Amino acid sequence: MTTSTKPQWLLGAMLALLMAATRSHHFATPLALPDASWAVFFLAGAWLGSARWLLGLLTLAVAVDAVAIGIAGVPGYCVTPAYSALLVTYSLLWAGGRRVARHEAITVADLGTWTVAVVVAAFLAELCSSGSFYFFGGRFADPTLQVFIQRELAFFPPTLGAMAFYVAAARVVQVLATEMTRRSGEIHG
């Protein structure tokens, strides 16, 4: 998606706000939405493209975590030597978004392309994030592949579901905005 600078900044700011507001593992309440971070990185890759956006969102993710742990008193259980793998995790998601950047039309073929990209990017990100935490985070005494697979069968589906929800919602908003712009052009044209 090619956008001018102003809409890119607005879209980037909206994605950043969504990520900051939904990092539910920090600010969870019974009414909190699931964490949108994975979808935000994927959508930033698809819609914003520039590596500057990737770096900015990486910085924001670390800053939110630092504020939550250092100031808000959220437990830092997930901050281990494996925390740095989140840089790779989020980069994988962004790269997955880059793979669909040319597929902006809302067709069955493009829907399939986006679906496959979301699932593959989420799967690779999950292996990187959870795998590094489980095997290298120092929180598990005797990590085994069997236990890791059992954990993944429990934890990956909700993570994929949350990411898919946000990406699908963003695509619906994109379709509606595109249709409104098209109709506005017809009325004024």
Specify the pTM.
Answer: 0.89
Pick from 22-31, 62-71, 80-89, 173-182: least confident = 22-31
Residue type (1 letter), 73? G
What is the per-residue DSSP string for 146-179? HHHHHHHHHHHHHHHHHHHHHHHHHHHHHHHHHH
Angle formed by the axes of helices 145-188 and 108-136, nearest 10°:
150
Candidates 20, 49, 58; CA nearest to 36 is 20
Pick from 81-95, 102-116, 153-167: least confident = 102-116
CA dist 140 and 148 (Å) reads 11
pLDDT single digits (tens) 3-53: 555 688 999 999 999 999 888 554 555 567 889 999 999 999 999 989 999
Give the domain extent around 74: 5-188
pLDDT single digits (tens) 95-153: 999 999 876 666 777 888 999 999 999 999 999 999 999 999 999 999 999 999 999 99
pLDDT the model gives residue 6? 63
pLDDT the model gives residue 110? 82
Residue type (1 letter), 144? T
pLDDT the model gives residue 75? 78
pLDDT the model gives residue 2? 44
pLDDT band at 154 (very low <50, low <70, confident <90, very high): very high
| Number of domains making up the chain | 1
Q: For residue 104, what are its two tokens?
A: 């902006």
